[in-house]
Amino acid sequence: MDPVGNFAVAWLSTSAATGWDVMVRSFKMDTRPPLTQLLNNQAAQGLAGDTDSWSYYRITVPPGIAQLNINMAGPVGGGDGDMYVRLGALPSLTAWDYRPYVNGSNEAIAISNPLPGDFYIAIHGRSAYSSVGLTASYD
């Protein structure tokens, strides 16, 4: 899904004449998911979500940055929020640029020499999670 809510759905179907048909349809959401803008080194605290929930954040990275750090921290036993990051569009389970594979809600991503632009951060509830903090910073 792009930042304004456009997305496409593709599927395969069997056909006696051709064997397989590929179909694609584009959609536009009536409303875009809520998105929280983060400032450099700003923390979002007390984040929580249910299983399969999504929360979205954005940080705008200027040119000439040496490193972008994105950190998510939660209590032990506080569930499992998974972090996905994508430049220029909302991440999903199948479309992301950076994604740590860690159990629990303590995850970190360090991006050296990031391209300038909007980095979108998603927290997906692999299981319900609570009391999570999210910080994005660059230098």
- pLDDT tens-digit readout, 99-127: 998 999 999 999 999 999 999 999 999 99
Higher pLDDT among residues 58 and 8, named by residue: 58
Residue 1: is its pLDDT beyond 90? no
Q: Closest Cα partner for 135 from 47, 28, 12? A: 47
Q: Do residues 11 and 78 share a domain?
A: no
Kindly state the percentage of the chain with pLDDT values over 90.
Answer: 72
Residue with tokens 């923390």: 43
Model pLDDT, residue 128: 97
Residue 23: is its pLDDT beyond 80? no
- The helix (H) or strand (E) run that includes residue 138 is strand 129-138
Model pLDDT, residue 10: 80
Model pLDDT, residue 87: 98
Domain hosting 22: range is 1-32
Q: Do residues 27 and 39 share a domain?
A: no
Q: Do residues 45 and 110 share a domain?
A: yes
Q: Do residues 9 and 38 share a domain?
A: no
At 22, the pLDDT band (50, 70, 90 cuts) reads confident
Give the residues across from 53 on adjacent strands.
Answer: none
Which are the contacts of 128, defined by CB distance < 8 A and separation ≥ 6? 48, 49, 50, 51, 79
Model pLDDT, residue 98: 98
Over the chain, what is the mean pLDDT? 91
Q: Do residues 11 and 76 share a domain?
A: no
Q: Do residues 17 and 76 share a domain?
A: no
How confident is the model over 2-11, as pLDDT tens digits?
Answer: 666 677 778 7
Angle value at C-alpha 46, between 111 and 33, nearest 5 degrees: 70
Which amino acid makes up residue 60?
T
